Structure 1
Amino acid sequence: MMNHSTPSRTTHLLRLLPPGVRDIFGDEAARLTLVHRAAEETFWRWGYAPVVLPTFEYYDVLARGFDEQASGKMHRFIDAQGNLLALRPDLTVPVARLVASRLVQEPPPVRLAYVAPVFRYVEPRAGQQREFREIWQAGVECVGVNNADADAEIIALHVATLQAMGVPRFQLNLGHMGFVHGVFDALDKQPPNLAAIRRAIDRKNRHILAEELDRAGVRGAARAALEALPTLWGQGDVLERAAALAPTPRARSAIERLQQIVARLEAYGVRDFVTIDLGEVRGMHYYTGITFETFAPHSGYPIAGGGRYDNLLALYGYDAPAVGFAVFTQRVLDVLEAENAAPDVPRPDALMVACGHAECLADLQRRRAAGQRIELDLSSRSPEGTRRKAAARGIGAVLVCGEWQEVAHGD
């Protein structure tokens, strides 16, 4: 006999969301909101003004700020007028577009902050940590100033933001693309296996790196500096060793800048969170100065990243330096939960019996205006029923016709 039964309602609902997105609700949504609020309050105290940017823009305008690989991760669609649009895959590029088109007359620095989702196409990969196509970010951009003070402020603010979010343990790996570019500048010519050399440096594989340098015929000071790149990381004498190896003025200038930044981070009291990593070569075509990624236990991905990108705004007609960072807040929340450090979700101060008396509703409004968080029990007029609900939800009191009654645990 054929089964003519229809799919269950649950099965149907499970197909309502496409891959890479999900609903966030209940205590998880409340905790994510608290994490976002901590970031926003920190940004505000440091002088960064909030900005709200469009969720989608013209594809060609957005794509101008990205390389081909990043542009390929955009979610594109055509509107009713035939315009090719795209969801923003990043917030730095829209900020650059905004500053270049609307805020050119503002005296530098222009400090902007955001908490919003971005959208990237990610191929699902078996056996890897979950990765979503809708990604919440909290970040800042500082536009118009290129000096060690601005770089140090961004790093110190980044540390302060993670501390405000409650992240107990993390490490910020700080590099400088000027040093990497300066080392490659020392090469007589660009080797045909340059990509393989960069991969070996990025993976800190000294054996493969030596083989690739032999294949390219690299010798002298450039060879010594390139071979040392995978070892130039840590909190000790890294910058001193790098200064001795720097083969070009550009590389030496980068080390001097990092030394200035580190001195300021000492003054900010955040130096211990920072590890120097001069072998970071990802983002060479985007970042122009400092670059950093932040890692925490229990996360297979960076929980934040940032750096200096002095060439981006020129793509939108305004040649101005800039530096910033973004925190991946859902990854932060995953870390907090794994560390048993997730923010507590505050419960209402009281649950009020819906007795129907006008004077009781007036009293409820006065209490809310005074700052109390009180829920009206809309489904029951029984004090006993309201008390049981309050006890089950961990609410410490009920309000019965203006009388505040404490609820003991286990009532």
Structure 2
Amino acid sequence: MTSVDRWQLPDGIEEVLPAQAATVEALRRRLLDLFRSWGYELVIPPLVEFTDSLLTGLGQDLDLLTFKLTDQLSGRSMGVRADITPQVARIDAHSLAPDGVSRLCYAGSTLHTRPKSLMASRSPIQLGAELYGDDSVAADVEIIRLMLATLDAAELPARYTLDLGHVGIYEAVLDAAELDDEQEARIFDCLQRKSVPDLMQALDDVPEDIATLIIGLVDLHGDDNVLLAARELFADRAPRALAAVDALQDVATDLRHQRPDLPIYFDLAELRGYHYHTGIVFAAYVPGHGQALANGGRYNGVGEVYGRSRPATGFATDLKALMNLLPASASGQGAISMPDSDDLELLAKAEALRASGEIVINSLGAGRDPRCDRELVEIEGEWQTRPL
């Protein structure tokens, strides 16, 4: 190993240096305070858990993202969390076990074995909110509104678009198609990639009317006209999908009542998180940023393994991704240089300034810190601040 190799970080793993760290911490504090004002209580799950608990109910995708190790005390398999959502579901179902609605929020580091997308970090700082115990459209709308309020509070320079989908639509189409497991897996992969040629090839041995129904999903993305087209497509062949289409319309109507200018984009072939989401799914995008800036959806029943099957909906974002979209911060508030002295009046003055929010830096042998734009000097027996 060369000396250069010793300080290199793994691909997708980043350190956060002072200026960026200040931005991340300010965002974290501002957003957690926002969640608190909406009634969401902060929880801090552990960095590692037994995989029996950590990976239950959220599908193979999370399993592949999770670094695993052996606990030296128990010999059991443990995982470094790749997603905090299942941990919060465990806290709701087992540690707290409330009877009614509970609202929980969190912020913490996660670790992925591989990036979720080409430019994604493998060490995101995940922040999110979860609502348990209510299966209504009103709960979905509350979580989406909180996600939008989160992006507003982050003061992003770009306008964002809300994407809405519903896994119930694909489920209804599958039920109508009566495919075997192998066919379903091939078709699912093609729909995820939205590759029509591959999808048509995968549907070679499927009846024409069913193939038309599945291929039709690919084109069901865009404005409100998508919902009209969906009702026509599903009315006879997959009537169970109509309830999901109605739910999407209800959510969009409620959101537009508060935000009439919000761009809403429907994507009825959105299959992100299909293996654990159970209803509405949503995501926010900004121009020029390929991956979702924040996303979430309904995931009822995840707490069942912990003894309580609860309705659940929530969203998450990555503080690092938010930070990267913000303009470069200014030099900061500046700082005050103080002499390296044990003068009690000087020390008392410095502590008073620090208590008021100022940064006061002791000048050691190397001289003043470059951040200092003021200094403490003794004038007529009194310590005062003056510009440098």
Q: TM-score, normalization: structure 2?
A: 0.88
The one-character-per-residue Cα deviations of 1:264-303 (angstroms, maximum 9, x if unpaired) are 1112317624311111123222111011233333434332
Pick which of 37-46 and 85-94 moved more. Answer: 37-46
* 1:42 and 2:34 are equivalent in the alignment: yes
Secondary structure of the 1:403 match is strand
In the TM superposition, what is the alpha-carbon distance from 1:87 to its structure 2 partner? 1.1
The aligned counterpart of 1:160 is 149
- Sort the Cα spacing of 1:214 and 1:356 in 2 relative to 1 into closer, same or farther, 3 A: same
* 1:264 and 2:254 are equivalent in the alignment: yes
Contact 1:368–1:374 (CA under 8 A) maintained in structure 2: yes
User: In 2, Cα distance between the equivalents of 1:373 and 1:323?
Assistant: 41
Contact 1:348–1:375 (CA under 8 A) maintained in structure 2: no
In the TM superposition, what is the alpha-carbon distance from 1:69 to its structure 2 partner? 4.1
In the TM superposition, what is the alpha-carbon distance from 1:143 to its structure 2 partner? 0.7
Contact 2:112–2:123 (CA under 8 A) maintained in structure 1: yes
**Correspondence 1:396-407 to 2 at 5 A:** 396-401=373-378, 402-407=383-388
Unaligned runs of 5+ in 2: none
- Sort the Cα spacing of 1:397 and 1:273 in 2 relative to 1 into closer, same or farther, 3 A: farther
Secondary structure of the 2:316 match is strand
Equivalent residues, number: 380
The one-character-per-residue Cα deviations of 1:65-123 (angstroms, maximum 9, x if unpaired) are 3323422332222233223222112111111111111222x243211101101122117
The aligned counterpart of 2:79 is 86
The aligned counterpart of 1:3 is none
User: In 2, Cα distance between the equivalents of 1:83 and 1:398?
Assistant: 57
- Sort the Cα spacing of 1:91 and 1:68 in 2 relative to 1 into closer, same or farther, 3 A: same
- Sort the Cα spacing of 1:94 and 1:215 in 2 relative to 1 into closer, same or farther, 3 A: same
User: In 2, Cα distance between the equivalents of 1:124 and 1:177?
Assistant: 20
The one-character-per-residue Cα deviations of 1:181-224 (angstroms, maximum 9, x if unpaired) are 112222244474323322333333334434433431241xx444
Contact 1:117–1:137 (CA under 8 A) maintained in structure 2: yes
In the TM superposition, what is the alpha-carbon distance from 1:238 to its structure 2 partner? 1.8
In the TM superposition, what is the alpha-carbon distance from 1:19 to its structure 2 partner? 5.2
Contact 1:354–1:376 (CA under 8 A) maintained in structure 2: no
* 1:293 and 2:278 are equivalent in the alignment: no
User: In 2, Cα distance between the equivalents of 1:366 and 1:274?
Assistant: 50
1:363 is aligned, of 349, 357, 380, to: 349
The aligned counterpart of 1:347 is 333
Contact 1:31–1:344 (CA under 8 A) maintained in structure 2: no
Secondary structure of the 2:310 match is coil
Contact 2:350–2:360 (CA under 8 A) maintained in structure 1: no
CA RMSD of aligned residues (A): 2.7
Secondary structure of the 1:215 match is coil
1:236 is aligned, of 224, 231, 248, to: 224
Unaligned runs of 5+ in 1: 1-5
Contact 2:58–2:275 (CA under 8 A) maintained in structure 1: no
* 1:308 and 2:298 are equivalent in the alignment: yes
In the TM superposition, what is the alpha-carbon distance from 1:397 to its structure 2 partner? 2.6
* 1:60 and 2:52 are equivalent in the alignment: yes
Identity of aligned residues (%): 30
- Sort the Cα spacing of 1:225 and 1:344 in 2 relative to 1 into closer, same or farther, 3 A: farther
**Correspondence 1:203-218 to 2 at 5 A:** 203-218=193-208
The aligned counterpart of 1:27 is 19
1:322 is aligned, of 290, 295, 312, to: 312
Contact 2:167–2:271 (CA under 8 A) maintained in structure 1: yes
The one-character-per-residue Cα deviations of 1:213-268 (angstroms, maximum 9, x if unpaired) are 3431241xx44442321222122322222222224343111111111111111123
User: In 2, Cα distance between the equivalents of 1:19 and 1:202?
Assistant: 26
Contact 2:124–2:320 (CA under 8 A) maintained in structure 1: yes
Q: Which amino acid aligns with 1:232?
A: L
Contact 1:31–1:342 (CA under 8 A) maintained in structure 2: no
Contact 2:115–2:122 (CA under 8 A) maintained in structure 1: no
User: In 2, Cα distance between the equivalents of 1:360 and 1:329?
Assistant: 39
- Sort the Cα spacing of 1:156 and 1:69 in 2 relative to 1 into closer, same or farther, 3 A: closer
In the TM superposition, what is the alpha-carbon distance from 1:62 to its structure 2 partner? 1.5
The aligned counterpart of 2:122 is 133
Q: Which amino acid aligns with 1:362?
A: A
In the TM superposition, what is the alpha-carbon distance from 1:344 to its structure 2 partner? 4.4
Q: Which amino acid aligns with 1:51?
A: V
- Sort the Cα spacing of 1:188 and 1:377 in 2 relative to 1 into closer, same or farther, 3 A: closer
Q: TM-score, normalization: structure 1?
A: 0.83
